[in-house]
A and B are shown apart, each in its own frame.
Chain A
Amino acid sequence: MTDNRFFNRSELIGILVLAVFLVVVLPLTLDVFRLNLVAKYLTYAFVALGLVICWGYGGILSLGQGVFFGLGGYCMAMFLKLEASSVENTKIQSTPGIPDFMDWNQITALPFFWKPFNSLTFTIAAIILVPGIFAWIIGTAMFKRRVGGTYFAIITQAVAAILTILIVGQQGYTGGINGMTDLRTLKGWDIRPDHAKIVLYFFEVGCLFVCIMIAQFVRHSKLGRILVAMREKEDRVRFSGYSVANFKIFAFCIAAVFAAIGGAMFALNVGFMSPSFVGIVPSIEMVIYTAVGGRLSILGAIYGTLLVNFAKTSLSETFPELWLFGLGGLFIAVVLAFPNGLAGIWGDYVQPRIDRLIASRKSKPDGWTDSSVADGAPAE
């Protein structure tokens, strides 16, 4: 075993396998439409990744990740929408140069908070900072007062509800229930044709791996170990002199920023953003992805996201009636039978057999029998 700070050998292999899968296998086997679907699913993987840090390691269950996904997505969408609403594109409107939904709602000038989104640099900064600061405010208010667990989950849920109602209600400023549609170009580069979709897909996968590396670093650093200690025995960590609240705030902010990057990618890849990705239902669905993949596994969360979404698309295409039953059942099954999700199944049942297979090949190629496999099955 190499004693690398970022990963041990099996994690490195796992990351390489994922990289080959996403960068080589999927683009070669899927057509552009399906690849774009994968890109859409992977935007949720960012959220799931954040939840692994925040929920799996930190023990903070946030049911409001859709808020941050939405904030990031709306920041990106506002920039793209402004670019799509140039004066010559919108000259049939009564006020040219503002987004179409504003014109429909009798707004005649660009609101002040829209103006900075003319700049791409500001937009990118906003995608990271707006959700980050928002998460910091919520986190500070809650964790400094030692609110946690179920209360925190309920409050984040309420925040998700508030933001959704606000976006839907303020139609003139946000596009209302339809969201921001008809996003066209990024700095003059058309994001709609097939080749742009492929470029965006690879860009997104690149960002995802950057986030995976950050998550790996957090997990293997002292910080990650403190998070785990805090999840298990919060008081002991506090009595050891650590500021529990600050670590929690940090984990929550990281999860928020990951979710926001996912949201921005969503606006780029899918070409619109709407409040249906902000509310309670999508937020909880994002928790499902993490739970299915395994709340303690960084890579598991990504596979879980892909798997649940593939299942969702194919099931809801063929049996729309069954989909909710399937999703609900999946949720209950994961909670009751497999609390560590896919990664838990892999770690408990598959990995030990592979390891033993390799080990027995090395030591005595003909020496193992069926009984030795049965004996050695999950050690704990």
Chain B
Amino acid sequence: MFGDYSLGDLGSIFVMQGFAGLILFSVYVLMALGLAIIFGQMGVINMAHGEFMILGAYVTWMTSNLFQTYMPSLFGGYFFLAMILAFLASGALGMLVEWVLIRHLYKRPLDTLLATWGLSLMLQQAYRSVFGAREVGVELPQWMLGSLHVTDSIEVPINGVFVMCLTVLITVGVAYVMYKSRWGRQVRAVVQNRIMAGAVGINTEKVDRYTYGLGCGIAGIAGSAFTMIGSTGPTSGQLYIVDTFLVVVFGGAASLLGTIASAFSISQTQSTLEFFMSGSMAKVLTLLAVVGILMLRPQGLFALKVRK
């Protein structure tokens, strides 16, 4: 399949497709970061993660509509506010869900999968009732459209670069919170030994709730980024949930670095392959490769040695 292209062409193709895959990469990283916190740290399989993401996308869509109607002059900056709102909305919903549902299930991880799947069905129907079954699209502000011409054969989309910078910032922020802050230490303490953490005075229930909320909130931000690559519908989130779980598992659960590396390799493989074959075959090949590697190396790319 490479035979028809010269080496220089191939280079340009890889770079272009690589940058085109940046938004996909960002969505994967943000989704997977939230999931890695929830699944890797808490052991909860959150099948409703895609729906939390879509909530963020709907919030972004509503914010952009608000700006368009009432503050057209500030439309260029709506995305920043939308992201914060998306984080808050998804985070709040996540904390509510944790309180109602998840906290009863910490001892039965496989059952969280079933319960959150039920939750995701209900959320989908709720979106359909509230926002309608039709997919909605967000209009990008003027400054995010277009692309930078690096050389005459390489173009880089501006929104991709922008979203990626944001992703890097958020990732660094999450890493800081998890590994440097007092609260992050508490989270990790609870994960490692719940009983002892409680004995030294950590409010484990509160830590659980905020951890889950943080994971869902980051999914909300992923939803904001998602509005740039696809239109938002009630079931759009479901398409991403398997990919995201694969990203987390492939990276090695409980490893933030692994999550980023696997999100990068999966999104770039898919994006590059898409140039050479149909989108569906690209996806099949990517997923097959991931599943194949996971069968050979079940612990993922970067595995922490944890005593169970």
Residues of A that sit less than 8 Å from B by CB: 61, 63, 141-142, 145-147, 149-151, 153-155, 157-159, 161-162, 165-166, 168-169, 280-281, 284, 287-288, 291, 321, 323-325, 327-332, 334-336, 339
Contacts and interface: CB of A to CB of B under 8 A. Distances in A.
- The CB with the most chain B CB atoms within 10 A, among A153, A323, A330, is that of A153
Interface string B92-114: 00000000010011001111011
Given A145-B295, A328-B125, A331-B118, A165 B284 contact: yes
Contacts of B288: 162
A169 B117 CA distance: 26
Contacts of B125: 321, 323-325, 328
B118 A280 contact: no
Contacts of A165: 280, 283-284, 287
Contacts of B122: 324-325, 328-329, 332
A141 B109 CA distance: 23
> Top 9 A-B pairs ranked by shortest CB distance?
A331-B118, A169-B280, A328-B122, A328-B121, A324-B125, A141-B295, A328-B118, A147-B298, A335-B115
Given A141-B295, A335-B111, A166 B284 contact: yes
A60 B105 CA distance: 18
**A contact patch SS:** helix
A222 B298 CA distance: 30
Interface stretch (B24-32, B181-189, B200-208, B242-250): B242-250
Interface of B: 39, 43, 45, 101, 104-105, 108-111, 113-115, 117-122, 124-125, 128-129, 238, 242, 245-246, 249, 278, 280-281, 283-284, 287-288, 290-291, 294-295, 298
A336 B101 contact: yes
Contacts of B120: 328
Contact of B45 (A141, A150, A159, A325): A150
A157 B109 CA distance: 16
A146 B308 CA distance: 14
Given A328-B120, A331-B115, 19 more contacts: A61-B110, A145-B298, A146-B298, A150-B43, A150-B109, A154-B245, A154-B249, A157-B242, A158-B242, A281-B238, A284-B114, A321-B125, A324-B122, A324-B125, A325-B121, A329-B118, A334-B114, A335-B105, A335-B108
Contacts of A157: 242, 245
Nearest to B122: A328
Nearest to A288: B114
B267 to A, nearest CB: 16
A132 to B, nearest CB: 18
A291 B114 contact: yes
A331 B283 contact: no
A340 B246 CA distance: 30
A128 B144 CA distance: 55
B111 A339 contact: yes
B298 A142 contact: yes
